[in-house]
């Protein structure tokens, strides 16, 4: 996903890659629903890349919507569209309700471990950031935004539990 998103910046005619990024985001969000936040991340990456072409934004939206249109058509044919729509609506209604179900000590250990893994990498990259070209700096900015959205996606299911932190 990220490699394809990086390639969007490198090529001038990249609508097929933008469509692929939208499709990948939609398919992964069907497996793990909080990944629906990848669509706003794609748009923020376009802003970081200074890509203000409306076609790329629209193609990403179409790529994201296409698997859901196919899924809705399937459930419509199976006469289960209303049932599934109720499940999706119920899930996304409470998606921003945060409850911590882990022991605070265990949560602290995970937080310290994450910081110990993340901070040296950030310091190493930021120390050499001035020497790299603009494309590298934009990719790094997109990666930082992905880390921010990743943290939001971890806690967005409403409960923080071990399986979300592992994946």
Distance, C-alpha 57 to centroid of its chain: 15
Residues 62-74 have pLDDT tens digits of 999 999 999 899 9
Nearest Cα residue to 2 out of 165, 161, 147, 101:
147
pLDDT of residue 66: 95
Nearest Cα residue to 24 out of 52, 4, 46:
4
**Residue 61, burial from CB neighbour count under 10 angstroms (0-12, 13-18, 19+):** middle
Distance CA 103, CA 141 (A): 33
Distance CA 34, CA 68 (A): 15
Distance CA 88, CA 43 (A): 23
Residue ranges of the chain whose pLDDT lies below 70: 6, 9-10, 12, 51, 94-102, 122, 124-132, 134-135, 137, 152-167
pLDDT of residue 62: 94
């Amino acid at each position: 996903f990220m490699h394809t998103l990086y390639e969007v910046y490198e090529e001038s005619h990249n609508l097929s890659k933008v469509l692929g990024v939208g499709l990948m985001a939609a398919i992964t969000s069907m497996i793990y629903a909080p990944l629906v936040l990848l669509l706003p991340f794609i748009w923020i990456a376009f802003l970081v890349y200074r890509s203000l072409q409306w076609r790329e934004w629209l193609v990403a939206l179409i790529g994201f919507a296409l698997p859901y249109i196919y899924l809705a058509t399937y459930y419509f044919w199976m006469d289960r569209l209303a049932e599934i729509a109720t499940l999706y609506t119920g899930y996304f209604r409470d998606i921003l309700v945060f409850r911590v179900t882990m022991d605070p000590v265990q949560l602290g250990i995970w937080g310290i471990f994450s910081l110990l893994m993340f901070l040296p990498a950030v310091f190493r990259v930021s120390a050499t950031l001035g020497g790299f070209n603009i494309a590298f700096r934009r990719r790094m900015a997109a990666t930082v935004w992905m880390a921010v959205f990743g943290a939001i996606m971890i806690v967005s299911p409403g409960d923080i539990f071990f399986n979300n932190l592992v994946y």
